Chain A
């Protein structure tokens, strides 16, 4: 085993660049003749645009253009599309209202862009933006669920009566109802999944350049998937064929989903560049990010679980309202449906499941995928419900989970809600996590905490998720407007060094290291002689980018397919050089060898021969050593595991402190354990943040109350104990690496464990329910209410 191959905790190659400030981000790019855009955004959640006066702004120093929705319409720009079409219960398509890049007629959320100002400097653009006069006629607005679904609620779109975008369902209603009729007991729960902001450390930015001489558009943008952005720009919004469009996503400082989507600003900077004849750059500031980056979560659900007399699950019934915001973002319709509802079997045998989901429009920023995307909502709902079933039944929350786990011999396991889990083994991760948190001595820790005036609680979550997105035919049948395969090209240079062109995109994941380890493992080439290229549609053949924990499982598999072709070709060249039959050539440890002999050629020798083909099988083998591959996964992958949390609560103030976290995940085969642990840590930080700290809070009029870091509480190091992270590997059965994916497991698994721990701590006081985030006042009020106090 090489010291830099699979399974080795190699230090990240890219970190020297990042840690020394040498990263090159979109905002770092200044093109000749650079100009700057600033957007005037709506201060109202809902208003009619009576008049826009740009006269003073246009006359302001340095201004090149002041553009409105009318200009967008006059120039025939397309709207911002959504990438997924959901069908209603009756088979009709979802409501799909228009999404003009600049507001036309009405604004529909605080932050909706109304006017674009382009000037020779950012200061001039800002000064001019302040001179734009907009006459708004404020209209009633609705921001919250379930209010948006109530009769008489303000309407976001005429095209969507009752604010319903879609009314969708999955599962067998009749079978579920029948199972409920046989139940020994039924447990029900009503809960909300709080809206969160993505908060990538690098705000979004876009720099658009139209080169009139070549009729070429180039967009530098903070994207997780430049090819997808090019696809949507080309086909829908800018309406320019792909060969005239280049999209570059250079170093990107985090995404968490929010940089998957095609945003209006990307279209507008390209369009404005064509109009003003200069490159046009826009860079969001943090306050603007809260008003324009897609948010995540925001569900309200009612769920019921039917159990038999032995506490075996019989059936699950779920009704979810999902807030989609005012406009449909790229993946928005898929998140509460195909990434939420079909995960609701969890790791359990539940013979009958029926889920109804209504996607609702509100006067808020679009809601789309944020780390986990639908799966945290499903896991939170199910794991709260299972814990409640244990508590109401007076049984052990661990025993009830064990009893209902899908057993190893049952794989592949077809759930009643579409997914077929290929493999898994749930009890080992449960046992590992319980051992790591020293579960047997919980009572002693509770007693010790009590002696200090603290309430200690234990919470658990046994989750499953679906990632490695995704089999194209499956998602196509479910309404996706794109395939979700991945592409790679492996270019072996004459001296044996390697450049890999991957369609995935690294914005924190460490691909420059892990993919180099993969090359090292397969070809024996040192990782310093491997370069990973991503993020440029002119350099990469194609790709669908990075989200849904897909890069290693899908992108890595595409690289492996290309490597297999390289090795096959290398064997032919080696057979010629070694004067042997190709069937007698084996490749291992970077050497092509005649089986059973010591006759061999190094990988570098073969690469050199391929490019200097003096002695070469030129009749049957082309010179050069470069291969491409596309890989379309056969199924989703299904990481699973157990997350355990202990909290201590100060009953006088309601403050919850997380004091211990022990998790054990099965993320499949691991390339770099350090990076896998890092992904788990980051996911846990965001998951605990959602459970205790974070909430993108709107008031009833649609004003964002938590729109900056003075009010939106980001987790800090002091909020966490040292995480105990363990892994138990079962290999994915359907991709060549056995990888499942790790990017989202922390954010998916841990929130219900935190809240279950809070409820365990508060159980002696009679508290039975609390919603996320469990803020001090919310906890204090729950205690007061349970104790019969005034609160």
Chain B
């Protein structure tokens, strides 16, 4: 690990100033569950880290006006335990409670996860399926415009994700096939049904979270597990690794979609 300077500002304004004033690569630090491991391997060598953990209010969670708003610094454990989330979108609390392990959930944050955009992370599936809005220090980004590719998003280099707004659906469910070692999603499918229709988002399977439109159409007509058609996601565009081939992942998309519908509340 290379030497770096560490900042822990107490206001968003200070954080923004430190981002702008930094030399070399300045990285924002949430819970450090993705950034620190790659720094240890020298795969990331930032000159400065700006921790967001000292800024009051960034970890706030509330449900009002038909949506759940979760501050970027809310930990997975906090989301899983939040009565607001559990009451409004139980599937989201359940998802948060199954990320990684206890240590990861106690440190990792929703903002860090969505800014990092790991293709195997859980939150991107929920955000995309629920039609979330990403709130930053300077704008609001519709989730459909947010994920741009492998580990990449619409965020500017110096932009700070401050909150995520999730519209409360009629029903939602999440089913994950976890990597046996890492517990990341080999395939995770989030299904959400609301007045606007059915959205189905798949994480883990491809280089970036994506919507399974054929499954959405089938579920819009009949929101039941039996209605999920098999083989609608081609393996050509999916990831292949030692844990799961693209072909197996394609199969798991169908199975997990059915189980997500079964689990939907």
Contact = CB atoms under 8 A, between A and B. Distances in A.
Contact of A777 (B41, B181, B182, B245): B245
Nearest to A773: B180
A706 B181 CA distance: 10
Nearest to A693: B180
B69 to A, nearest CB: 32
Interface stretch (B89-97, B188-196, B205-213, B248-256): B248-256
Contacts of A697: 242
A709 B243 CA distance: 13
Interface stretch (A231-239, A711-719, A736-744): A711-719
B248 A711 contact: no
A710 B184 CA distance: 9
Given A697-B242, A705-B242, A706-B242, A714 B181 contact: yes
B32 to A, nearest CB: 16
A452 to B, nearest CB: 13
Size bracket of the B interface: 10 to 19
B182 A710 contact: yes
Contacts of B177: 653, 776
Contacts of A791: 247
A652 interface: yes
B182 A711 contact: yes
Contacts of B248: 776-777, 780-781
A711 B242 contact: yes
B244 interface: yes
Nearest to A790: B247
Contacts of B242: 697, 705-706, 711
Interface string A336-363: 0000000000000000000000000000
Contacts of A709: 181-182
Chain A contact residues, majority secondary structure: loop
Interface residues of A, number: 19
A781 B248 CA distance: 8
Interface string B175-186: 001011110000
A282 B221 CA distance: 64
A652 B255 contact: yes
Contacts of A730: none
A573 to B, nearest CB: 59
Given A652-B255, A653-B252, A777 B244 contact: yes
Contacts of B243: 711, 775, 777
Contacts of A710: 179, 181-182
Contacts of A705: 242
Interface in A18-54: none
Given A705-B242, A777-B245, A713 B181 contact: yes
Nearest to B187: A653
Nearest to B242: A705
Contacts of B244: 776-777
A693 B11 CA distance: 46
Contacts of A652: 255
Nearest to A778: B248
Contacts of B251: 780
B202 to A, nearest CB: 16
B181 A712 contact: yes
A217 to B, nearest CB: 33
Contacts of A713: 180-181
Contacts of A693: 180-181
A94 B252 CA distance: 49
A781 B177 CA distance: 16
Given A776-B244, A777-B243, 8 more contacts: A653-B177, A705-B242, A710-B182, A713-B181, A775-B243, A777-B245, A780-B248, A781-B248
9 contacts: A652-B255, A653-B255, A705-B242, A706-B242, A709-B181, A775-B243, A777-B243, A777-B244, A781-B248
Interface of A: 287, 652-653, 693, 697, 705-706, 709-714, 775-777, 780-781, 791
Closest A-B pairs by Cβ, 9 of them: A713-B181, A713-B180, A710-B182, A777-B248, A652-B255, A705-B242, A777-B244, A711-B181, A697-B242
